[in-house]
Structure 1
């Protein structure tokens, strides 16, 4: 679990202070470990950012997989709502941290491409499915910038409306 604590600390720094504040020393301090302890798990700032990107992708893939008896877009919607409601909004922190290095964003771009292409042709209405997936992206981005914008009731109403499109 130490790796997750380090990634949590890095993400919190990115969310609170921006990418310029993300240093190995700051992450080690926030996580309550020595810099050597951090370097044992992540040898560089780039490795740390890569770890955040990989965790983001893995977490979202797990949320999608948790709904096996639904269409891919229904699972995508459920995963998005779970991420938004639980506060598992790492995307902004990761993108901010990796924005200076296109190589570090490659896995996220590949995952986004996969998430938006997966099963689209098998959906009853591929256009409606694409609209729902894009709306999920917008919801996640907005919620990562302003987590207080939507109440639980707002999110339920949005979810119902998006389900109705499907």
Structure 2
């Protein structure tokens, strides 16, 4: 059993049944493996949640890096819309709902601070850059709770308008 499959199973379980359903036995069953197979990769529920948080951060960092839109904010904006359109952002709600433990969410808080500070000094208009990043944050939150709320035309127009806030 691959580590990624176990993380997928945990996210699916949380998405379908909520945080109270997140047990190692339930994740193993959802993944189609033994509890021992799960314990090989994640010895505790906390380790599993930590794995989901780490993957979330790595995935978004990779999305930002893979965009070819100039400034960090433009790449951040493009990455947000790639994630929203592909449904990859459900992890935000899943991970947040999975843990009431501030220690486990500390890496996510650190990543959020980094994402909102990254490259601001190089932005032609740092305030506009922050507004766009905060708008992306709001979109992530809304879409993670209601993925079908907006259609592709709305996303296209919203992305165009947010991009228009940025100089250049």
TM-score, length of structure 2 as denominator length? 0.96
Pairing of 1:4-153 with structure 2 (within 5 A) = 4-68=4-68, 70-89=70-89, 90-98=91-99, 100-153=100-153
CA RMSD, Structure 1 to Structure 2 (Å): 1.0
What is the distance in 2 between the residues matched to 1:115 and 1:62? Answer: 12
| Count, aligned residues | 165
Is this contact kept in 1: 2:132–2:162, CA < 8 A?
yes
TM-score, length of structure 1 as denominator length? 0.97
What is the distance in 1 between the residues matched to 2:66 and 2:110? Answer: 21
Q: Which runs of 5+ in 1 are unaligned?
A: none
Q: Cα distance, 1:68 vs. partner?
A: 4.5
What is the distance in 2 between the residues matched to 1:77 and 1:23? Answer: 35
Q: Which runs of 5+ in 2 are unaligned?
A: none
Is this contact kept in 1: 2:69–2:78, CA < 8 A?
no
